[in-house]
Chains A and B, each alone.
Chain A
Amino acid sequence: MSEFLNAELLARAQFAFTIAFHIVFPAFTIGLASYLAVLEGLWLRTGNDAYLATYRYWLKIFAVAFGMGVVSGLVMSYQFGTNWAVFSDKAGPVIGPLMGYEVLSAFFLEAGFLGIMLFGMQKVGRRLHYFATLMVAFGTLFSAFWILSVNSWMQTPAGYVINEVGQFVPADWWQVVFNPSFPYRLVHMVLAAYLTTAFVVGGVGAWHLLRHRENRPARIMFSMGLWMATIVAPVQIVAGDMHGLNTLEHQPRKVAAMEGHYETGRGVPLILFGLPNDETEEVDYALEVPNVASFILTHDWQGEVKGLKEWPREDRPPVAIVFWAFRVMVGVGFLMATLGLWALYARMRGRLYDSPLLKRVAVVLAPSGFIAVLAGWVVTEVGRQPYTVYGMLRTSDSLSPIAAPAVATSLAIFAIVYFVVFGLGTLYMLKLMAHRPEVTERGPEEGKPMRAAGTTPVAAFEEPEHPEGDSHDD
């Protein structure tokens, strides 16, 4: 029995590890693809070469991040079967087709147009090239649409019946795809991806402005990144609140864990910090604000909030992880919004580019989106426990019949390979970001395929713009 428990924990650790590595790449590329579309659109409208330079600067980084997203994503498409066989058998008829649509509508679209986007500007002309950029951006959003639909169905299953062999089978596809938590999760995640990218872009701009005050592409990055922080970060707080209320409706246990509430009550205090203790079912050293939790969750100072004691222990998620990850996400989110307000204030006084402190803080907060995204995913996925299909299929009943040593071995190899491979890839992206943007910025190096040009033929025709090797810029 204890060995089986180990196998379960190992399989969960392996899934968490591989998906945590995977998610940072799409979170970044979803935002970056849209940002590139905006930059190219601005360039086409204004003819300002600084926009084109900024486009080309981020295009190189996009190519590397996208490649790593593809490779780490390939692993995910097999891991459902290798480690979660019972889940795959039972949930496959419902979520499998959604993933099939992700491959057919998103992955092939991206692969098809990425080549034109990377190499084809000279060959296909501006309009078709812009079309390709838009298609890649749509591809990343389609991908987000389908995979978040899958994830949301696992959180709030709908539109299914259970057949005679215990499989979930579709009854109403509309209800399956647009299950209750999906619209909220989709908005929250896409905004998160946009913010993640905006802070990286703004931080990189700030980094270069600290050294070269007048650098035009760096000013564009800094200004656009901070506009996003000013506008989208507050919107995200509202969207997050709505997502939270949706969760309260459909997964009250998760919200109780996020808030650290064990007792059901009225006029419940908001616990700012504390140490949730599942043994004593109390939050030790809690720092509380009276009645605020009731107000946030029910919009009534005396509203009733359900505590975890309403459910048997074996049906509750682990509280401490969810509780802390939630605070990290919210804390980072408010930091991001604060920077946005500060930038707005500086901008209204006409001094956006003047404060070194603002730039330094923007540099420090550059990776904040990744932290918030990872923390948010820990909240929602650990908060789903102990189920894979919420309330319907337990995690312990979802597992493949694989011995613990097999999973331990694969987990160890995943850890080594991922740290080496994606560590080097990240290092390479940082090197690209350390390179100062110039208005004469070129596209990806000619003669040196940054990655495959997908299945796109146009790359073949592009003449080298310049002699071999003169654009080696790392």
Chain B
Amino acid sequence: MMIDLPLVWAFLIAAAILIYVVLDGFDLGIGILFPFLNNPEDRDTAVNTVAPVWDGNETWLILGGGGLFATFPLAYAILMPALYVPILAMLFGLIFRGVAFEFRWRDEKHKPYWDFGFTAGSMVAAFCQGIALGAFIQGVDVDGRAYAGGWWDWLTPFSLLTGIALVVGYTLLGATWLVMKTEGSLGERAVRYARITVVGILIFIAIISAATLSLDPSFMERWMAWPAVLYSAPVPLAVGIVTFWLWRCLGEKMDFKPFIAAILLFILCFIGLGISLFPHMVPPAITIWEAAAPDDSLWFLLVGTAILLPVILGYTAYAYWIFRGKIQAGEGYH
């Protein structure tokens, strides 16, 4: 068997992270949009659009963390200490978000506090994930098999920029989700939020792309050198086309298209990231093959994954299919 197991697992982990980002992205985006939804009924409707799915969405984050531990233990062991503060802050945010989600229905008297916890938790989680991404792209200090930097190394203008960008990106996902799932005044306002955030995200994509290329000359090489340019050049082009399409669709009746377009934007950015970083697992020092667990470990988990992952994907897709369609104000799922 000449399968390159580390490479297979790198793609699987990347896929799990992408699925997490898209799925939890839109429900975190709902949380970020919460302060703008002043009408309590709009808030309840917005929460009801994600109530049945948000928890399953978050399970992908556990899979991402657990999968990295299992298949690339060295990368896990270097990145987690390097990103200590943003990772733990993200977890605290997710705790508040998750609990607020349940408690806001339970405790009418303190609903404003839980709503605040819902928003703050969502924003902190999104911001910290963006910071972690930026810190990852700019690279971490490694000495031997351990992280060699300090506990504030992640804090740079670049990582703050990616942090804000991800908050804006998740808000775009949340807004286009609301465009798809709601109607009336809430739906119209969601279109407006989507327009604002799509402009914002385009600016951030441009700035971050330029900043990334200037971080390290090797990034520039990877994008511009012949023949790499054959597959790298279409990416920014596609970003432009998808953004244009998203903008056009926001005025149309086919209201699922903006959400699809927003997801495509995320996928394109993810591909762009892959072009910049491949084949590094921990930029700039450690490659996929250096970080991978031995083949015995990769095989053992791959067998189960090959059986279980399609099942999981199947019922996840089925859930979203069942929940398709608009949510009326005052209509709960339960």
Contact = CB atoms under 8 A, between A and B. Distances in A.
Interface of A: 64, 67-68, 70-75, 77-78, 80-82, 85-86, 88-94, 96-97, 99-105, 107-108, 111-112, 115, 119, 163, 165, 167, 169-171, 173, 400-403, 405-406, 410, 413, 417, 421, 424-425, 428, 444-462, 464, 474
Interface footprint category on B = 35 or more
B308 A104 contact: yes
A82 B73 CA distance: 12
B274 interface: no
A74 B58 contact: yes
Contacts of A108: 59, 308, 312
Contacts of A77: 62, 65-66, 69
Contact of B52 (A70, A71, A452): A452
Contacts of A71: 94-95, 98-99
A431 to B, nearest CB: 9
Contacts of B77: 81, 85-86, 88-89, 92, 400
Given A81-B77, A400-B81, A97 B51 contact: no
7 contacts: A71-B99, A89-B76, A410-B88, A447-B332, A449-B105, A454-B55, A455-B319
Contacts of A400: 77, 80-81, 84, 147
Contacts of B296: 93, 169-171, 173
A406 B333 contact: no
A103 B66 contact: yes
B96 interface: yes
B20 to A, nearest CB: 12
- Of A67, A450, A453, A461, most B-chain CB atoms within 10 Å: A453
B10 to A, nearest CB: 15
Interface in B131-187: 145-148, 150-151
A96 B91 contact: no
B215 interface: no
A99 B51 contact: no
Contact of B51 (A105, A449, A474): A449
B294 interface: yes
A250 B309 CA distance: 37
Nearest to A407: B84
Interface of B: 48, 51-56, 58-59, 61-63, 65-71, 73-74, 76-81, 84-85, 87-88, 91-92, 94-96, 98-99, 101-103, 105-106, 145-148, 150-151, 293-294, 296-297, 300-301, 304-305, 308-309, 312, 315-316, 318-319, 321-323, 332-334
The B contact surface, by secondary structure, is helix
A401 B294 contact: no
Contact of A406 (B146, B151, B334): B151
Nearest to A446: B334
B52 A93 contact: no
Contact of A453 (B92, B98, B308, B334): B334
B332 A449 contact: yes
The A contact surface, by secondary structure, is helix
Contacts of B73: 88-93, 96, 167
Given A78-B65, A96-B69, A459 B333 contact: yes
Contact of B319 (A402, A405, A457): A457
A92 B147 contact: no
B110 to A, nearest CB: 10
B304 A96 contact: no
A75 B91 CA distance: 6
B94 A101 contact: no
A70 B61 CA distance: 12
B297 A97 contact: yes
B62 A86 contact: no
